[in-house]
Amino acid sequence: MRVHVADHPLITHKLTVLRNKETSSPTFRALTEELVTLLAYEATRAVRVEPQEIETPVTTTVGVRLSEPRPLVVPILRAGLGMLEGMVKLMPTAEVGFLGMVRNEETLEPTTYAERLPDDLSHRQCFVLDPMLATGGSLGAAIDFLFKRGAVDVTAICILAAPEGIAALEKATEGRDVTIVLGALDERLNENGYIVPGLGDAGDRLYGTV
């Protein structure tokens, strides 16, 4: 598993505003979208393309276009939905599937409550969106799901991760082609399974408590 932690002052600046508990939901949503677009630039570095011949006003030249089958973007509901617009802005022709997962706040175990994905993901490059990688349970289950459907490689974009979650995912994804792109790698998990210093509950900060 490859882990790439973004190292850019603009990303750190936007993250600082996101972490601030005084930041309102509308600002939080706007910043999340901006951050994802920046992280997506790194995450799509190995997206598959094929040659395409075109005519410019001056001459004929060979450029590239995204290969078929098109990449699949999978936001993990609910918080991952806040990352979707930022991702498809960069890759508008990608297809989008959905996974709904919620972690039990007592046991920290994830359960899947919704799934809308192609049955066959053979030859697909998949991009999973989830802002928080805490214990790694939710993302691990999502990645396992995609590989069982035939995905060839999976890249996850997360805003924040805890070292404990990265270690757990490393084990869970052994032998599979997985890349994790992070806005920041934080210090640790607290006794409630929250990332420290973190930003709190990403879903609540995006959409309010339910």
116 has catalytic annotation: no
Cα 202 to Cα 1, 78, 118, 142, 145, distances in angstroms:
25, 9, 27, 18, 23
- Any catalytic annotation for residue 186? no
Q: Is 132 annotated as a binding residue?
A: yes
* Residue 168: CB minimum distance to ligand PRP, A: 8
Residue 194 contacts ligand URA per CB under 6 A: yes
82 touches, from ligand URA, ligand PRP, none (C-beta below 5 to 8 Å by class)? none
Q: Is 201 a residue of the active site?
A: yes
- CB neighbours (10 Å) of residue 136? 24
CB-based closest residue to ligand PRP: 203
Q: How far is the CB of 203 from ligand URA (least distance, A)?
A: 6
Q: By CB under 6 A, is residue 11 in contact with ligand PRP?
A: no
Q: How far is the CB of 99 from ligand PRP (least distance, A)?
A: 9
Selection from 93, 103, 46 nearest residue 73 by Cα: 93
Q: Kindly identify the residues of this chain, within the stretch 98-137, that bind ligand URA according to CB under 6 A.
A: 132, 134
Active site residue 61: no
What type of residue is 187? E
Instruction: List Cβ neighbours of 178 (8 Å cut-off, separation of 6 or more).
Output: 1, 2, 143, 153, 154, 155, 156, 169
Q: Is 195 annotated as a binding residue?
A: yes
Residue with tokens 């750190």: 12
Q: Catalytic positions, please?
A: 103, 107, 201, 204
Residues in contact with ligand URA by the rule CB under 6 A = 132, 134, 194-195, 198, 201-203
Residues that bind ligand PRP (CB under 6 A): 76, 78-79, 101-103, 108, 110, 130-139, 165, 193, 201-203
